[in-house]
Amino acid sequence: MAHLYELTAIELARMLRKKETSSVQITESLLNRIDSVEPNIRAYVDVTRETALEMASEADRRLASGDVRPLTGIPILIKNNMCFRGHRTTCGSRILANFVPPYDATVVTRIKEEGMVILGTANMDEFAMGSSTETSYWGPTRNPWNLDTTPGGSSGGSAAAVAACIATVSLGSDTGGSIRLPASFCGVVGMKPTYGSVSRYGLVAYASSLDQIGPFARDTADLALLLNLICGHDPKDSTSVPRPHPDFTTYLDKPVAGMTLGVPTEFFSKLENPDVSKACAEARSIFERLGVKFTELSLPHLDYGIAAYYIIAPSEASSNLARYDGVKYGHRAEKFDSMIDMYCQTRAEGFGAEVKRRIMLGTYALSSGYYDAYYLKAAKVRTLITNDFKTAFRTCDAIFCPTAPSPPFRIGEKIDDPIQMYLTDVFTIPVNMAGLPGISVPAGLSGDRLPVGFQLVAPHFEEARLVQLAAAFQKETDHHLQRPSL
């Protein structure tokens, strides 16, 4: 019989309702698993053991009283950039190494209201700037499939924990691919919802017009349940869109025959890795067997996506990270000669190399004389990319493409080559630029037995369409059932 830590949220919820186990037993099973494998993976910044057991006891009391919601008693891991009252929220940075927020992010509030159990906070690239979870002040997270490779980033801890069965489900954030890339690299399902569909209140900002919270799970059914919980309007977030969302679980069994998937020539012309090409070809044939049609289409401005992103995102980061000055909270330098020197020393000590690089890029792009040449031009390119997608969706229900240009790469392989690291997100960044929902689905293993995923992208607020397609694919395959041997 499978261990409790190996089961999905839906399987555990069924057992809880039948009183075949308790939330405390499930939580203890996961905490024991964490003790066993976490030292090798380092997916967590903090394991909130005492809080988790208290939440599990409270969940059991709720279950006994009949106050049962779909995810009551189910353990979850949250990324370390979501405010969790009374617990460190560090964003993987020295500058916030001891910051304890006095309030909860809206998604954390919803998790608590549901009666879920927060196991801890997940490791991440510093301030979500990275594609490999190597820039964290707490050290790199390792991919459970091969400890010498990266789990992707920036939500590498959230994805690695779900893959290693040291979290049942988890939350990450996605600014340019930070959910979908780790999902692909770790062999799990990960979704970036439409911008504005999940509240960003209490999510520490990197690039405010691009950041979006989303779920990780081992299968689409769990992901749909978590999506039900986190989606919805929040008056505390001015970018939250006031519109209802469907029950995503009702789309898990809908047939996909007759749907059309668009294949962008610009994406596949860049694809050189044979493992990814093979996985995408096999996934396409499975969809065709299910009655899905494919149509070739063009997204002509995609080639400018990465260039525009690395103007817009660093510009917003430059503005957002100006608040970390050592005055009110966070790290402060001990030795300085003046107020200005204190600012300079604090930021020099507190930020890592990649964060400094992006702050400098953004500050330059916004500076007098360069704003029109860089930021304004990038904003116009963003509009062109958005319009390309709108045109494409007139001929298809969703877009089909790779998630990443390769299987997971080795730790240290790209950390000293920023351009190569940035190109890892070539297939994911345009989706954020247009504010669209995207999902990464496990598509098999490479020749080296490393996970490969494919990506589906839908029109704004059509997450249900992605759930429908991903669930249909997973009924025909067992890729999502594969587990790393730890």
Q: What average pLDDT score do residues 33-61 get?
A: 98
Which domains are assigned to the chain?
4-259+396-481 (3.90.1300.10)
**Residue of 274, 287, 271, 286 lying closest to 446 (CA atoms):** 274
Give per-residue pLDDT as tens, 146-185: 999 999 999 999 999 999 999 999 999 999 999 999 999 9
Distance CA 134, CA 81 (A): 16
- Residue 64 exposed, middle or buried by CB count within 10 Å (0-12, 13-18, 19+): exposed
**Residue of 117, 118, 192 lying closest to 154 (CA atoms):** 192
Q: How far apart are the first and last CA of the chain?
A: 18
**Residue of 76, 104, 105, 44 lying closest to 170 (CA atoms):** 76
Distance CA 307, CA 341 (A): 33
Strand partners, 293: 260
Which pTM was predicted?
0.97
Distance CA 336, CA 277 (A): 55
Is the pLDDT at 231 greater than 90? The verdict is: yes
Distance CA 478, CA 249 (A): 20
Give per-residue pLDDT as tens, 98-147: 999 999 999 999 999 999 999 999 999 999 999 999 999 999 999 999 99
Contact call for residues 218 and 191 (beta carbons, < 8 A):
no
Q: What average pLDDT score do residues 44-53 get?
A: 98
Give per-residue pLDDT as tens, 368-382: 889 999 999 999 999
Distance CA 111, CA 74 (A): 10
**Residue of 446, 437, 361, 407 lying closest to 174 (CA atoms):** 437
Could you give the percent of the chain with pLDDT greater than 70?
Answer: 100
Pairing of the two strands 260-264 and 293-297? parallel
Is the pLDDT at 63 greater than 90? The verdict is: yes
Binning pLDDT at 50, 70 and 90, where does residue 68 land?
very high
Binning pLDDT at 50, 70 and 90, where does residue 48 land?
very high
Q: State the catalytic residues.
A: 79, 154, 178
Model pLDDT, residue 486? 86
**Residue of 440, 478, 434 lying closest to 209 (CA atoms):** 434
Distance CA 338, CA 49 (A): 42
Model pLDDT, residue 1? 73
Is the pLDDT at 241 greater than 90? The verdict is: yes
Scored b (16 or more CB within 10 A) or e, 379-393 reads eebbebbbebbeebb
**Residue of 34, 38, 44, 211 lying closest to 124 (CA atoms):** 44
- Which two tokens mark 160? 């690695």
- Which two tokens mark 416? 């000293």
